[in-house]
Amino acid sequence: MCRYILSFDGGGVRAIAQVVLLKKIEQELNINIFNQFDLFAGTSAGATNALLIATISANSSNLEKFWSQENLRTIMTQNLVDKTSFLQLRPKYSNGGKRKVFQKFFGTKTMGEVLKPVFVTAYDVELRKPILLKSYEQPETLIVEAANATSAAPIYFPTASMRNNSWLIDGGIAANNPALLAYVEAKKLFKGEQIKVFAIGTGLNRRKIDGIRSKDWGAIGWLKNDILGIMVESSLQHEVLKDLINDDYLRINSPLNKVNRRMDDYSAKNIEKIKTLGEFWWADNKDLIKYFFNK
């Protein structure tokens, strides 16, 4: 039997491009995303998509409702102290708005109540190690807590406090592309079965960095020039998984082009550019996608 795995990168509001691509797949290939896949994996904003599908059998229309302008405005509730501050001394946003939106969709459900297996990535700051929050191993974890932890991006959101007294931040610190981890988990869950992994990115910032100028940058200089983006864009896991399973792995991603690299730009203009990116992914990869699902 063949098992299909769906993996989502982190990338803030750019995760909307993933939803656009899934919508095209649903429409063009007549595929029900929830029914098609056997395991869902995600990091940060991509983890939200994974959790929504696994928990409420969300289709692309349901995912679009989550990523509405109203919800994004609520999620990006800025800390009052920093609105007029030149230096950002605290996280840019509070956790209150984000948790409010998560509670609207997940309520008080635990990871043990999901409809299909799912895991999300996080990083334990006290233990200084990456962790996976798995529906099949930590069923008591509240989905709201898991979603809040995996999306606790440093600088943007506060560290997430868990009921087990651990302190977690965004899993993108260690594995922004969780596809290789998803393959390993699938091999344990579906022993002896064929595993196919479909992974969706959130766009790559290919703006050139001036090497000569960078030698003089301190913390502010590197932050201004997207040091977080550099850290999460490693292609190593992608290359390892491709070598492992070849055509049983398909990853869809591309340069950002006109999309703002900043993960919190939810302006109407930028959201349209993100949607255009998702449409481009389908147009540019539809033959590969059709082959992946039909072979």
Three-state DSSP at 116 gives coil
At residue 78, what are phi and psi to the nearest 5 degrees? -80, 145
% of the chain exceeding 70 in pLDDT? 88
Report the mean per-residue pLDDT for the chain: 91
Q: What's the rounded mean pLDDT across residues 217-229?
A: 67
Q: Each residue of 189-208: pLDDT tens digit?
A: 999 999 999 999 999 876 66
- Shortest CA distance to 104 belongs to which of 46, 62, 165? 62
**Which residue stretches of 134-235 are H helix?**
143-150, 172-175, 179-189, 211-214, 219-224, 227-232
The token duo for 99 is 């948790």
Partners of residue 252 on adjacent β-strands: 200
Strand pairing partners for 178?
A: none
Q: Which residue has the tokens 């070849």?
A: 246
Q: What is the pTM of this model?
A: 0.92
How sure is the predictor about 231, in pLDDT bands with cuts at 50, 70 and 90?
Answer: low
User: Is the per-residue pLDDT at 37 higher than 50?
Assistant: yes
Q: Indicate whether 291 pLDDT > 50.
A: yes
pLDDT digits (tens, 9 = 90+) for 242-282: 999 999 999 999 999 899 988 999 999 999 999 999 999 99
Mean pLDDT of 159-183: 94
* Range of weakest confidence among 20-29, 49-58, 217-226: 217-226
Distance of CA 119 to the CA centre of its chain: 11
DSSP β-ladder status, 249-252 and 194-200 = parallel
Burial (CB < 10 A; 0-12, 13-18, 19+), residue 253, is buried
Dist CA 242 CA 64 (whole Å): 30
- For position 87, what pLDDT does the model report? 54
End-to-end CA distance of the chain: 13
Helix (H) or strand (E) holding 292: helix 268-294
Mean pLDDT of 113-122: 98
Is 3 in a helix, a strand, or coil?
A: strand
Number of helical H runs and strand E runs in the chain: 15, 8
